[in-house]
Structure 1
Amino acid sequence: AIACNYNGNANEDDGSCDYNESSSILTGPGEMWLVGLTLTDTENEVYAADCEADGGVNPNVALSGSFPGSGDGEAMHFENITDLTGGLLAELVPLASLADISFCGDVIRFVNPATGGVAILVEANGIWMTPVPILGASSLWVAPMSAFNPGCGDPSACGFTDFCDLSVACDYTDTDGDSVLDCQEVVGCQDSAADNYNENATDAGDCNYNGCL
Structure 2
Amino acid sequence: MQARKRGQFSDFSSKVTSAYWLDCPHGAELNIELFNAGDGKYYNRLKEPNVDLFLILLSSNGSCKTYKHSLDYYITLSTTVSAGRYILLAGSMSVVNYSIYPKFNLVVHADQPFVLNEQPSSHELVGNAFHAVAIRANVRKDFGDGVSLLTFNDNGGFGFICENKSNRNIRFTADFQGSRNVLSSRKAFRMVDVIPAKTKQLFAIFTRKVLSEDVNIGK
Give the TM-score normalised by the residue count of structure 1. Answer: 0.23
Q: Which has the higher contact order (CA 8 A, sep 6+)?
A: 2
Q: Which structure is larger by alpha-carbon Rg, 1 or 2?
A: 1
Instruction: Decide which structure has greater strand share.
Output: 2
